Structure 1
Amino acid sequence: MVNNDHMDVTELLESAFLLVPEETATDNDITVQDIWDYLAHDEWQIALSLLEELGDGHPLPLTFWEQPAEAAEQLRLERSAAWCHWRCSEIRNGMIRADLTLRPATEARRTTPISGHGVLRPMWDIGNLSPTGGASVSIAGLWVEDMPVLEPGGRATVRLVPLTPSHWAHVETGQRISMNEDRTVAGTAVVLEVHLPATAMPTS
């Protein structure tokens, strides 16, 4: 963990930008140099937002996300702070993207929307078995892409961060998994991408 105790917002953001290759650009052709210009004029919130956008499209080290997370906390930008901390978790524990459909309120116990910003840590049936041969669920945090909440019966692309990455080593693209908040199924998902730490992947 980086010691940010004596770093101000500008220093934190500058340190993160130094980790981005100069040729990197966003989908809107915003470059690192453009963001430096915002920093030079103390446009911290814009700079932070663009920094997140740069990081979304390119694999960058853990430190890149730790420093903006601290900057966002200092600026009291809760959503940005949550996202940057979430990306740190993805690097540490891996990430599975999936197409999730929640069961409608008339068919499931949940009748309220779920938070989209990494608060929920539901159980997932990913095909693991207990010592007695029954289903064994695994916990993973849930982030809904591009939506603040997901309503019962709704569908969205989600990002899952496993609590125990090794439990997910066998999960593969196209696999169907189910989400549980209690003993009943709350939703089903189809795996789109799997990105786990090297230590969690099966050896050949």
Structure 2
Amino acid sequence: MDVPELLEAASLMVPEEVATENDITVRDVWDYLVHDEWEIALGLLEEFGDACSLPLAFWEKLAEAADQLQLRRSAAWCQWRCSELRNGLIRAELTLSPAAEARRTTPIPGAGVLRPMWDIGLLSPTGGRAVSIAGLWVENQPMLEPGGQATVRLIPLTPSHWTHVQPGQRITMHEDRAAAGTAVILEVCRPAPVEPAR
């Protein structure tokens, strides 16, 4: 499929009554598609992901369109949203340790490339602390400085490790043995049910 076909197919998955925070509806997206304003249409379609729950196929089509348009961050975001549906999502308020107290002295990238370890209260078979890996996306920021605070989105590498995690729970981020930061869980979304093949 080419870009217009992908965007049109994705737009057909958005309920007509849904609107973004700025009162944009899918009809506005169609107007941009008619005028070959593909990048604007893609950006608006991405906003619908915050307005309502959309299926995996929606995000897959947007990811492919963004990739064809060579919009790297947008493609990464849409692929991230696909992973959230497959593996679940944990939103948390993360505070990184200051540079003087941790090994990290540089900002962490915000666009989902970091996959740190997390102490989420699990124990190893010998009774020691066990950590679980989750990818990290910083919301609304390109990066997070040491000592900084931001809302982050975590995608568990092994979702079954995270089933006990609840809002309000404090977890610890590690990049090595020392704590790199602490986070308070805000929201937990389990993996989406697998859609039957058509």
Normalising by the smaller structure, the TM-score range is over 0.9
Q: 1:16 to 1:198 in 2, by over 3 A?
A: closer
Aligned to 1:37: 31
Aligned to 1:71: 65
Residue deviations 1:123-159, cap 9 Å, x none? 0000000000001000000000000000000000000
Q: For 2:27 and 2:136, how far apart are their aligned partners in 1?
A: 34
Shift of 1:196: 1.3
Shift of 1:198: 6.6
Shift of 1:56: 1.8
Q: For 1:20 and 1:198, how far apart are their aligned partners in 2?
A: 17
Query: Number of paired residues?
Result: 193
| Structure 2 residue corresponding to 1:103, chosen from 90, 97, 102 | 97
Aligned to 1:120: 114
CA contact (8 A) 2:88 2:192 kept: no
Runs of 4+ in 1 over 4 A off after TM superposition: none
1:87-166 to 2 correspondence within 5 Å? Answer: 87-166=81-160
% identity of equivalent residues = 75
Shift of 1:55: 1.4
Q: For 2:16 and 2:76, how far apart are their aligned partners in 1?
A: 26
Q: For 1:168 and 1:140, how far apart are their aligned partners in 2?
A: 10
Q: For 1:198 and 1:34, how far apart are their aligned partners in 2?
A: 28
Q: For 1:10 and 1:108, how far apart are their aligned partners in 2?
A: 47
1:18 aligns with 2:17: no
1:8 aligns with 2:5: no
Instruction: State the TM-score, normalized to the length of structure 2.
Output: 0.96
Q: For 1:56 and 1:181, how far apart are their aligned partners in 2?
A: 30
Q: For 2:14 and 2:137, how far apart are their aligned partners in 1?
A: 25
Q: For 1:88 and 1:198, how far apart are their aligned partners in 2?
A: 10
Q: For 1:129 and 1:31, how far apart are their aligned partners in 2?
A: 48
Q: For 1:70 and 1:111, how far apart are their aligned partners in 2?
A: 35
CA contact (8 A) 2:32 2:41 kept: yes
1:193 aligns with 2:159: no
1:183 aligns with 2:184: no
Amino acid at match of 1:129: L
Q: For 1:57 and 1:116, how far apart are their aligned partners in 2?
A: 22
RMSD (CA atoms): 0.9
Q: Which runs of no fewer than 5 residues in structure 2 stay unpaired?
A: 194-198
CA contact (8 A) 2:85 2:192 kept: no
Residue deviations 1:13-52, cap 9 Å, x none? 0000111111111110011001100000000010000000
Q: Which runs of no fewer than 5 residues in structure 1 stay unpaired?
A: 1-6, 200-204
Shift of 1:193: 0.3
Residue deviations 1:28-81, cap 9 Å, x none? 001100110000000001000000001122111000000010000110101100
